[in-house]
């Protein structure tokens, strides 16, 4: 039996390797550039602070900043809590942060007008509210029914 030339013995397997490599490179191909709509997608809209009392009452306001100006204090249930608003339907519960900034020494009394800056939070359970803020059961129940409250970090005097 005659031996094949050395070039044929090495050339045929090399040919198959080259063909398979080209097929693999063709299948992998270059990455597809993102479409224009994907690369230029608008960044998420940054929402400004809530400025109306009724906005604070909405459940979708939880976690948002609020900046309320010239709101009326209705009652002061405990040293760290207030009810603000004009009507019964607009009443918002307010909790003052222990480190609240009150540079002007604003007196927190019913009928006073104040500007408040804070964060809207979900109302806790009645038991938690009574324990944390020294509330009576009726006030804690009203807070729970409202669903949200304003955790205030800054108080300023409202213009008279």
**Tens-place pLDDT, residues 33-57:** 666 565 566 666 777 788 888 888 8
Comparing 1-15, 29-43, 72-86, 105-119, the range with the smallest average pLDDT is 29-43
Question: Is 90 exceeded by the pLDDT of residue 95?
Answer: yes
Integer Cα distance of 143 and 15 in angstroms: 81
For residue range 53-86, list pLDDT tens digits in order.
888 888 788 889 999 898 999 999 888 899 998 8
- Alpha-carbon torsion 140, 142, 144, 150, what sign? negative
Taken in order 102, 106, 110, 116, the sign of the CA dihedral is negative
**Domain-by-domain residue ranges, the chain?**
53-157
**Helix, strand or coil for residue 115?**
strand
Say if residue 142's pLDDT is above 70. yes
88 vs 56, higher pLDDT: 56
Nearest to 147 by CA among 133, 126, 132: 126
Which CATH code is given to the segment(s) 53-157?
Answer: 2.40.50.140
The per-residue pLDDT for 34 is 65
How would you classify the pairing of strands 113-122 and 65-78? antiparallel
């Amino acid at each position: 039996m005659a031996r094949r030339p050395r070039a044929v013995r090495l050339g045929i397997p090399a040919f198959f390797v080259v063909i398979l490599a080209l097929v693999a490179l063709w299948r992998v191909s270059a990455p597809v550039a993102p479409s224009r709509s994907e690369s230029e997608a608008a960044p998420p809209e940054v929402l400004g602070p809530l400025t109306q009392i009724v906005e604070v009452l909405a459940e979708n306001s939880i976690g948002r900043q609020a900046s309320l100006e010239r709101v009326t204090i209705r009652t002061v249930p405990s040293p760290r809590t207030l009810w603000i608003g004009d009507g019964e339907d607009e009443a918002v519960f307010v909790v003052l942060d222990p480190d609240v900034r009150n540079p002007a020494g604003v007196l927190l009394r019913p009928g006073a007008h104040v500007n408040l800056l804070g964060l809207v939070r979900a109302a806790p359970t009645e038991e938690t509210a009574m324990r944390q803020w020294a509330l009576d059961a009726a006030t804690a129940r009203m807070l729970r029914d409202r669903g949200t409250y304003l955790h205030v970090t800054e108080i300023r005097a409202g213009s008279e």
